[in-house]
Structures are given as structure tokens and as C-alpha cells.
Amino acid sequence: MDFTLSEEHQAFADSVARFAQDKLKDGALARAHSPHYPWETAALLAQQGLLGIAFPEEDGGQGGTLMHAVLAIEQVALVCPKSADIVQAGNFGPIRTFVEYATPEQKRRFLPDLLAGRKLVSLGMTEPDAGSAVTELKTSATPDGDDFLINGSKVFSTHSPEAELFLVYVRFGPGVGGIGSVLIEKGTPGFEVGQPSSFMNGEQWSQLYFENCRIPKENVLLGAGGFKKQISGFNVERLGNSARALAVGRHAFNTAREHALTRRQFGRELCEFQGIQWRFAEMAMKLEQAQLMLYRAAMEGEHGLPSAQSTAMAKLACNLAGWEVSNDALQVMGGMGFSQESLVEYCVRRTRGWMIAGGSIEILKNRIAEGVFGKTFPQRPPKN
Ligand SMILES: Cc1cc2nc3c(=O)[nH]c(=O)nc-3n(C[C@H](O)[C@H](O)[C@H](O)COP(=O)(O)OP(=O)(O)OC[C@H]3O[C@@H](n4cnc5c(N)ncnc54)[C@H](O)[C@@H]3O)c2cc1C
């Protein structure tokens, strides 16, 4: 068993770290405080080959692996947390499910703009009455000649105010077996993107409304019975979420460490106080533990999709470590940590959201417990 990165992985991580220091360090604070997607930076990352890292070369990707994508998102987040959103959008988000299951024609239509950082795809899964209980979604796809009519609504979709393409979970029929997904472009008649609302982390989201929105059958990504496949693709999204949460926590940790080495109170550096030292010892341990679980899940998915159990454990560990460490880092930095002069308060706000997004920490625990006992535990009340 080897706990170190291979020479090739390390060299890749080092090259991304150098690029990030060189091109992303300046402006990191301003990017974090803007509610908008950093399009110019997205084009830069695309040129650097940091979008589509694990996608096949024939699809316009880089032919790398999931581990390379995890290393890239980490190294970018360590320098510019907001730019890591671009790595997420171009490697781990709905684009990953799209690349896995799209037809060659669908790829030809949509991938070039997405991989160039010119357009975004947003995931429409959550509905007003179907959050954690995602299989209760109601948005319907009804056949009408060669087309489908989409009716329903979605909430909380990341990048929804700025995306051009939406990967929307829909119901073709009853039950879990009736769920699949379709691709819907902004501007399609019957599809409306509502006014943006803000999350605590600074991101914006718009409610999506579909009213007899007509799409051709060529826009079906996965028909009825596609739910399991969609969730397998979604496990990759969860790993991107995990990697960002952890790296953003480490970003805050590094900033607080520098602060503790230089800030003097009572005539000594903060790091001289045992109360501060123990806090850092615990923070360092949380980061290391979560890192091991993340890399294990990423290596499992090295030549395919990662397993649900390892992904759930990695996400839970990284979400908790990222949030707890950022929050402790803020405390160690006192008023400066709480101020928007530093990125640490941003790290706290960002890591908090990932404990809800992409499978809340409670839902992950339910999933892990099922693995522990080798049983499924239906969450719905028993039928009489
Ligand atoms: C930052 C952010 C980004 C997001 N991005 C997207 C996106 O791109 N696309 C998209 O479709 N959605 C997105 N979401 C929505 C997200 O997937 C949902 O918020 C999430 O699934 C929880 O659903 P809910 O908010 O309706 O909470 P609810 O399901 O109402 O849950 C409320 C609380 O109850 C807990 N709970 C629910 N059921 C159980 C149970 N059985 N056992 C124990 N506890 C339980 C939950 O963990 C939670 O703490 C995003 C959310 C956030 C915060």
C-alpha cells in the first residue's frame, strides 16, 4: 500500500499549482466576492487544458483520469477558491453525466462550447417538493408525436442564472423506473428562468419553470429507467464537491497558519499559545483524514465511475473537515478572519453550503449506514 501520489500525479499537481500561482492568485478576493461566473478565467482554464480533464480525447477532453481532475480542483482552490468552481463545472458537474451518456450528435452540439469555457450546463434535479427525496420529483415529460412536452419546476440549480443548457431530471412514467433526463436550452419556448435569488455563500440561483415546453426526442439524455445511471454520474459531481470542500478548508487553514506565525498578542506570536497549537493539531488531522478518503474514492473511480459507498464517505469526511477547519481558521484570525479583507470568511460560507448540496450530510449518513448493515432502510412511512 502506497500513500503517496505517483510521480506523474505529483508532477501534474505541481504544474497546476504553478499555473494557479502565476495566473489566478491576483484577483482571487474580487472573484470570490462577485456573484457572477468568472468567464474570462474560464477561458484561461480551458486553454490550460483544465476542462474535460478526464474526458476521452475524441470528445475534446484531455484523456486523463478522475484523480487528475481531483488534483486540479484542489490546486486551483488552494490559490483561488472561486476559480475551482470552473474546474467543477468543466469536469465534475452535470457535464460529467452528459459526457458519459450523451449521443455523438448531442456531444457535437453542446460539448465544444462547454469545454471552451464559453457556456455552462446547469443541473435541474431538486424541486420545491422533492429535495432529499429526489425520486418524488414531479416534472413530467409527456410524448407528443416525435417531441416531448415538459411541465414542472426546479429550484436551487447551480449556475442557473447564467447557464445556456440544462440537464433536467424528469418523469416519463410512475415510480423510480419512470425517471430519466432531458437537455433543455435556454430560450426554448415554454421554459422560463426566474429572477435570481442569493445563497449565503454568494452564489445565485433562479427557479426554472417549464410549461408545455416542447423538446425534440433528440434532447432525451436518458429515458425511463435512467435514474440509476444518472446517480452514478452524480457520484462524480459529489467527488468534485468533496475535493473543493476540502481544499477550501485547507486554503483557510494555510491563511490562518501564516496569521498564527506572525500575529503577536501578549508579547508572543499566537502560535506560542497551547490553546491555538491544539486547535491547529486537530485541524491538520481532520484535513489529512478526509484527504485519504477522497483519494481512495478517486482512485476507485480512476477508470470509470467511483462507488456510491466510498463517494458518500469521502463527501461526508470532506464536507465536515472543510467546514470545521474553515470555521476554526476564522476564529484563530479574530476580527481579520471575520472581515471580507481576507478569503477566510468566504471559505466558511462556501464550505457550509456543501453540507447541503449534492446529498446533505444526513442523507450521506443514511447511505453509509445501509452499507454498514447491508440493508436498505426506506425513509418513507410504511404503507398500511
Ligand atoms: C449550494 C447549493 C447548491 C445546490 N445546487 C443544486 C444544483 O445544482 N441542482 C439541483 O438540482 N439542486 C441543487 N441544490 C439543492 C440540493 O440538492 C438540496 O438543497 C438538497 O438535496 C436538500 O434538499 P432540500 O433543500 O429540499 O432539503 P430537505 O430535503 O427538505 O431537507 C431538510 C433537512 O432535513 C434533512 N433530512 C431530509 N430527509 C432526511 C432523512 N431521511 N434522514 C435524515 N435527515 C433528513 C436534510 O438533510 C436537511 O438537513 C443545491 C443546494 C445548495 C445549498
**Ligand 1 atom nearest residue 356's Cα:** 53
Which residue lies with its CA nearest to atom 38 of ligand 1?
Answer: 132
Pocket of ligand 1 (CB under 6 A): 123-126, 131-132, 156-158, 199, 353, 356-357, 360, 362-363, 366, 379
Q: How far is the CA of 283 from the centre of ligand 1 (A)?
A: 27
Span 93-111, pLDDT tens digits: 999 999 999 999 999 999 9
Q: Whole-number mean pLDDT of the chain? A: 96
CA 263 to chain centre: 34
Of the chain, the percentage scoring pLDDT greater than 90 comes to 92
Which residue lies with its CA nearest to atom 50 of ligand 1?
Answer: 357
Low-confidence ranges of the chain (pLDDT < 50): none
Which residue lies with its CA nearest to atom 41 of ligand 1?
Answer: 379
Span 195-231, pLDDT tens digits: 999 999 999 999 999 999 999 999 999 999 999 999 8
Span 254-294, pLDDT tens digits: 999 999 999 999 999 999 999 999 999 999 999 999 999 99
Pocket probe for ligand 1: among 37, 85, 96, 126, the residue whose CB has the most ligand atoms within 8 Å is 126
Which residue lies with its CA nearest to atom 11 of ligand 1?
Answer: 125
Ordered structural domains, the chain, with CATH:
7-115 (1.10.540.10), 121-225 (2.40.110.10), 228-373 (1.20.140.10)
pLDDT for residue 303: 66
